[in-house]
Homo-oligomer: A and B are copies of this chain.
Amino acid sequence: MNDAAPSRPLAIEAASAPKRAKPSNYPDPFASRMARREKHPLGDIFGLRNFGVNLTRLLPGGESALLHRHSRQDEFVYILEGKPTLVTDEGEVALAPGMCAGFPAGGVAHHLVNRSDRDVVYLEIGDRSPGDEGSYPADDLVARLSPDGRWVFARKDGQPY
């Protein structure tokens, strides 16, 4: 135990976790496509650093992210409520509560899309391996994780947004 660590709860109701202050890290025009997505960071509340956990809600018409893959980081989602569509560059799958999907680094490009008329709620986990890059096969975007943990976005020709 680090005696200087801030006092943290032992457990919480996940639904009570505050919404992330910044709805999207993407540059415009992509950020506005995330307006129907609400991320509630859970892992940060407990001081986790090796991976992040969010409780994420997609309103009807919302999407989890742009279609993307990571070069070094793994991701995992577990559906708690609603019926999202998992869209990948290798096909689509209808998801439902109790279903899960994992996306290894360098695997299929993927995102969740809420084509239903009800909210979708899921847990998403992603690790924080350094040197990660995000690639976006359907959009003119590349992302690079800087050493200080910020995502730096650019067009595919290298021009900044």
Contacts and interface: CB of A to CB of B under 8 A. Distances in A.
A53 B10 contact: no
Nearest to A95: B11
Given A106-B1, A125-B53, A99 B47 contact: no
A53 B53 CA distance: 12
Interface residues of A, number: 44
Contacts of A46: 76, 101-104, 107
A50 B102 contact: no
A86 interface: yes
Interface of A: 1-2, 5, 10-15, 42-43, 45-51, 53, 73-74, 76, 78, 86, 88, 90-91, 93, 95, 98-108, 123, 125, 127, 129
